[in-house]
């Protein structure tokens, strides 16, 4: 009698298991999501950092967009030209020319060159400085605060605080844009990796005000613009900007700048 009960119980359990298995198998077939083979191949080539530098939430989203033709094959800033060419082969298209970009901090106002209005003691986070008088302890209200919000945001350890100002390691930088997004002063921008010169200042104050705050701030004197043979410099709100597409790298602007704001 006991053996019969055991056999019946075993049969019931086995039958339930078989039914559940068949049901799940049928459900998997019915609700199966078709995956684009090209999308899978593209995802396999992408570096997998999920940094968002391409403008998409992650590598899987970018792969889907590329497979649908909604994003260029060289959209990944981390993978660069090499990955772009591999994806182009998968998609059967030309990769096109891509220019390597790197982050650049438009400020040289370190602890030795910038005056301080007061001594700050508190949370060391640049984003919190908007609640502090004057937007921070440095006399220049446009300059780098030096508390490393960009450092914390960088997934590649490519930016560090050196003597109170952020400095980018261009060899390590992948141009993902994380530091740009987090900087409350909007000091960081992308420039070509092989750019010869750039203005390392974002100050918009008039010359006399700038000179009181920082030794190396752009004063909008226009000497760089007037002497540039390629007409590659624009002055806007007392601050110079170099058009990298026009710049020939002659170095005249750097030579003429009285404040050494061009590096």
Ranges of each domain in the chain? 37-91, 100-193, 195-263
Dump pLDDT digits (tens) for 94-124: 877 778 899 999 999 999 999 998 888 888 8
Mean pLDDT across the chain:
88
- Looking at per-residue confidence, does 237 or 26 come out higher? 237
Domain 195-263 adopts which CATH fold?
Answer: Alpha-Beta Plaits (3.30.70)
**Cβ atoms of 186 and 194 closer than 8 Å:** no
| Whether the predicted pLDDT of 225 surpasses 90 | yes
pLDDT band, residue 151 (cuts 50/70/90):
very high
For residue 179, which of 136, 149, 219 has the smallest C-alpha distance?
149
d(CA 39, CA 31): 20
Helix (H, G, I), strand (E, B) or coil at 77: coil
Domain 37-91 adopts which CATH fold?
Answer: 3-methyladenine DNA Glycosylase II; Chain A, domain 3 (1.10.15)
Task: Please determine whether the domains at 37-91 and 100-193 fall in the same fold group of CATH.
Answer: no
Q: Which CATH number fits domain 100-193: 3.10.129.10, 3.40.50.720, 3.40.190.10, 3.30.70.20?
A: 3.30.70.20
Structure tokens belonging to residue 80: 């660069």
CB-based burial, 205-222: b 16+ in 10 Å, e otherwise = beeebbeebbbbbbbbbe
- Report the range of poorest mean pLDDT among 26-30, 37-41, 191-195, 196-200: 26-30
In the block, tokens 């590598």 appear at 59
């Amino acid at each position: 009698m006991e053996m019969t009960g055991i056999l019946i119980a075993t049969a019931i359990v086995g039958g339930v298991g078989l039914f559940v298995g068949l049901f799940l198998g049928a459900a998997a077939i019915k609700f199966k999501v078709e995956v684009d083979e090209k999308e899978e191949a593209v995802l396999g080539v992408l570096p997998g950092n999920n940094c968002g530098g391409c403008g998409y939430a992650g590598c899987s989203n970018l792969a889907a967009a590329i497979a649908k033709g909604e994003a260029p094959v060289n959209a990944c800033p981390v993978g660069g030209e090499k990955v772009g060419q591999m994806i182009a082969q998968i998609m059967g298209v030309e990769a096109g020319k891509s220019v390597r970009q790197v982050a650049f901090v438009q400020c040289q106002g370190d602890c030795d060159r910038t005056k301080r209005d007061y001594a700050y003691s508190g949370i060391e986070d640049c984003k919190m400085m908007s609640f502090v008088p004057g937007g921070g302890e440095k006399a220049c209200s446009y300059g780098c605060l030096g508390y490393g919000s960009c450092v914390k945001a960088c997934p590649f350890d490519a930016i560090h605080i050196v003597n109170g100002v952020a400095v980018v390691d261009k060899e390590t930088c992948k141009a993902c844009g994380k530091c740009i997004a987090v900087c409350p002063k909007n000091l960081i921008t992308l420039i070509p990796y092989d750019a010869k010169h750039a203005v390392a200042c974002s100050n918009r104050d008039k010359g006399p005000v700038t000179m009181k705050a920082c030794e190396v701030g752009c004063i909008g004197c226009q000497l760089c613009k007037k002497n540039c043979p390629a007409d590659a410099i624009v002055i806007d709100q007392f601050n110079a900007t170099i058009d990298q597409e026009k710049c020939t790298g002659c170095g005249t602007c750097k030579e003429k700048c009285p404040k050494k704001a061009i590096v």
